[in-house]
Structure 1
Amino acid sequence: MAHFFLMQGKMDEVAKKLFAAAQEANDALPTEVAAVTKIQSVHRASQIRSVYHAVVAAAQLIQRIIRGCLGRRRAKSVSIERTNKLQLHFFHHCACTIQRLWRGWWSRLHVHDFYMRRDYLVKVEQRGKWTQDFLSAEHKEKLHAAKMEEEVKVREEFDNLAGDLHHLMSTSSIPGVYNPPYSDLLPKAFEKPIEDHLRDACRVQLPKALRRPRHHKLPSPKGSTSYGASQAEKLGHDLGAPPQELPERAPFFSRTASTGHLRKVQGPFRSREQIEVANIKAANTYRTIQASSPYDAVEADRRMQERISKLARSSPVDFMAPGSVKDRHSPVSVHVGLPYKERPLSLRGDYVELPKIRDKPPFFTALGQGKQFSDYHEQPMLPHGQV
């Protein structure tokens, strides 16, 4: 009983210890929860890693088996393809050899006959020689014909020239130019002395230079007049046309006279009225300034300058009526007492050009450019009033 009462006194102590233990447990709860969570995470991670490694090992095993199978299949296909290529190459080589042998045999039998080709080449060589011989012979003939033609032409020219040199022949008293007395060798042409050529070519007739040329009178065109007409107008040629051949003109016997006689007309030519008008215009247009100005222009200008200087002159003494008394002495200099001017006196003749006027409209004329006023007055220059 006594112990019971002793325990009754310790009831508060038990409650306090229980409260303290509960408080400690409550304080240690986050630490315990963290520890439990850590243990669970480590355990679960180890389990997951073991499962992952097992899955990876299984996948690697499957991939290794599949890749090995595919590699063996690919190697087998490559080996088969290589074997097929080698066999095909061998078959092609055999086929080419067979075809080459067969084509050679067939071409030698039907196309390329050795003996026929040899005969053909012999014929080609023989024909080439015949062609060369024929061409060389024809070339020699043409050269000979050209040489003969040139020789004939030279002989004709020489004979024509020798026909005009009869005055160089020898006479009974004087030897000729081509018969020198101091030399035994005479000059020859065409294996014949030139003296003989001159004697054979000499013809009893007048020299060509002394013969009268044959003139032909040209009919004048209808409606044309001889007054003021040029040579081209008389012949009926267009003034703007190119050079024309002169009609009905036969060559002279002399070469020098026929040179200008047969020359083309080098028109166009101006008429007499056009030449007169051009000369008068040239006299008015191209004469000098001194010739176009009046004769006494210099003297008139000098007198005008003297008048202007007298009008612009200023006296140093003020104006005074006649008879009045001077109230001061005359200045010692001309410039004393003169008003100062900012710029000198300017007259109308000092202006070189007219002053510029702003917004001035342009000045148009009815006359064309590049022509003077005197060019429009052509009526008095002509004798009959027409150009």
Structure 2
Amino acid sequence: MSDEANDASTAPDTDPQERRRAAFHSAKRVLARHSAQHRIGEQLAHLSAHAGSVYDLDAGADIYGDGVVAELERRTARLLGKEAAVFFPTGTMAQQIALRCWAARTGNNTVALHPRAHPELHERNAFHEVSGLRTVHPTGEPRLPNADEVRDFEEPFGTLMLELPLREAGFVLPSWEELTEVVEAARERDAVVHFDGARLWECTGHFERPLEEIAALADTVYVSFYKSLEGMSGAVLAGPATLVDEARTWRHRYGGTLFQQYPAALSALIGLEQALPRLPEYVAHAKVVAQALEEGFREAGTPWFRVHPEVPHTHQFQVWLPYDADALTEAAVRQAEESGVALFQRWFTAPEGPPGVAVTEVTVASQGLEWSAEDVREALAGFLGRIGWLLAAGC
């Protein structure tokens, strides 16, 4: 590392989050750039440049869910092969309402899901506190439950909720056969099936099935527009028309029927038009990136590392290293600041395993398609060099 790099420092009063944002925003080479990393002007310019290709901008703005919002609902329902769909400002709201509707219809407010599913980790116990739902866990393994675990679970549940892919376990998916078997096992127990499909869009390659066929396994499906599709915000719940109508009523009660939502709806339509067709490319190239990382770690003699899954199931996967999360994040930020290359971004203390292990999520999107395997290995060498310098400096 150069003397200039060694001397790189940040004023003590610099906000760490703002520093990270600035570093990754200014980086010239990234594997993916999330919409939240763009400046407001960039977001508005993108929306202005592309909205006219997906919707008639001479039409009136939406009011309480009509117009462009209703059009987004129609297009999404058609993509998923469902009778109807309803737009929500957040997936948290969409899923709570879906599951409370099913609880009323089945007469059972118990939801079977994975303990590392999004509602259990990131929603402040909202299922219970807001919607009166109770959760149980057919398995604690870092994968979705299998058919036997669902079939033999010791107490009744009204709904089986499956997160596809299971993000916290490494964006992992079952095989198509395993998925169909677990759905059948739930049906044998007279339970309905709901897919948390925030990232369902990129699952088609792994399952080798179109979206409509995957979604057909579930009674209801939730999908997000701001993750893989790079939209501003928003989600859709799709399923039977009668349940969707009921969900609209609950959306109003929850305060989710906003006066106007055309920016979010237009950005979602742009995502369906531009990002969705490219997701198979991203998934394929994520496999190239993951393999290059494996090779780079081995070439560098890294004493322990984990790329998980070794062959990614989607365009996202995890990397684990035996170092302090803050030190790894600092190395990533310095690499972006000093070289304009952002291989990794933020690291977190691993929720499983021994102390001192950190994990990060790697996403490969359009920007990552420009990276060759050699580019990945070169960037990794630069990152590991900064880790060595930080550790030697006692940082």
TM-score range, shorter chain: under 0.3
TM-score of the two chains, using structure 1 as the length reference: 0.17
TM-score of the two chains, using structure 2 as the length reference: 0.16
Structure with the larger helix share: 1
Structure with the larger strand share: 2
